[in-house]
Amino acid sequence: MSHDNGKVQAEALFASGQLYKDIGEIIYDRRTALDWTQVHLAKLARLNVSVIRSIEAGRPVSLETLSALLRVFEIDPRDILPQGAPEGTWFAHLDLVASATQLKKTMKQCSDYNLAIQKLRDIIGNISKTFNLPEIPARLPIDHYSHSVAFTSGERQDLLEIFGRRIQIFRTLQGATASQIAHKSHVSLTSLSLIEAGLRNPSLETVYRIAEGLSVSVYYLIPGIHDDADLLRSLDMTAWAMSAQSQLEALADLESIIGHLDDIANH
């Protein structure tokens, strides 16, 4: 993937506006083939009818709107969207199956896991009280998995949240910061941060820019019936393990500090 003259390939893909026109024609053909009115399609997709008119007229479409229409028609994104960035295979070296198997074995061996976690929480709590640190809002691990990272057919999910999490996954697997990916994608850091948090509905062009910045195909980022759920869950688990590794390094620093303070107290 090249960035000639500092530009991303997505600019050329969307320059003429033909891609949006092609999408509009496909939506129109699917709708009329089913003998649906624009009003009926709008109700099924939970969109305003003016949005349907705009899309069929070939105007720009956002990720959330396009995903809603793909869900209604049960269209595979690969059937209507060009690939854009090369098919991302840079993560193929990860032995995901072996990692998952080893994780299960390790967890069974850690009978004192819950006790260790509670002790760690007590230590952090005591430090926070001693230095009057602001309380960190409690978050249950299950909150992260309240929505699957993979698309579930028939359900209207928080597609923006899923999309944002996928960006985080591929960014973490590369060991890249949000700032680095924002620079490669030619989007602002603020925009990327909001998108990762599921708080901004990006245009389709922005989706392609981010995919190019991550060196993965848009098909890995856009939720749909084409999703490989097992692969996505494995990548998610691997990314979280990498994030946890950086936290372990912080705990190692904390252990060193506590040891130093203990030496001072005993002398």
Burial of 189: CB neighbours in 10 Å, binned 0-12, 13-18, 19+? middle
Residues 100, 38: Cα–Cα separation, whole Å: 46
Q: What local confidence, expressed as pLDDT, does residue 4 receive?
A: 41
Q: What local confidence, expressed as pLDDT, does residue 156 receive?
A: 54
Under 8 Å between Cβ of 213 and 202? no
Q: What local confidence, expressed as pLDDT, does residue 253 receive?
A: 75
Adjacent-strand bridge partners of 53: none
Residues 187, 103: Cα–Cα separation, whole Å: 37
Residue holding tokens 């691997």? 238
Q: What local confidence, expressed as pLDDT, does residue 48 receive?
A: 96
Q: What local confidence, expressed as pLDDT, does residue 99 receive?
A: 62
Q: What is the pLDDT along the chain (267 residues), one digit of tens a residue?
A: 334 444 568 888 899 999 999 999 999 999 999 999 999 999 999 999 999 999 999 999 999 999 999 999 999 999 999 987 666 567 766 666 566 666 666 666 666 667 777 777 787 788 788 878 777 666 555 455 545 788 776 555 688 989 999 999 999 999 899 999 999 999 999 999 999 999 999 999 999 999 999 999 999 999 988 888 888 888 888 888 888 777 677 777 777 777 777 777 776
> Who contacts 262 (Cβ-Cβ below 8 Å, separation ≥6)?
none
Buried b (16+ CB within 10 A) or exposed e, 201-235: bbbbbbbbbbbbbbbbbbbbbbbbeebeeeebbbb
Classified as helix, coil or strand, 203 is: strand
The residue count of the chain comes to 267
DSSP 187-222: S-HHHHHHHHTT----BHHHHHHHHHHHTS-HHHHS
The dihedral built from the CA positions of residue 193, 195, 196 and 199, taken in this order, carries a sign that is: positive
Helices (H) and strands (E) in the chain, counts: 13, 0
The encoded tokens of residue 14 equal: 């969307």
Residue type for position 200: R
| Element housing 102 (H / E) | helix 96-109
Torsion angle, alpha carbons of 167, 233, 80, 18, to 10: 0
Q: What local confidence, expressed as pLDDT, does residue 1 receive?
A: 36
Classified as helix, coil or strand, 62 is: strand
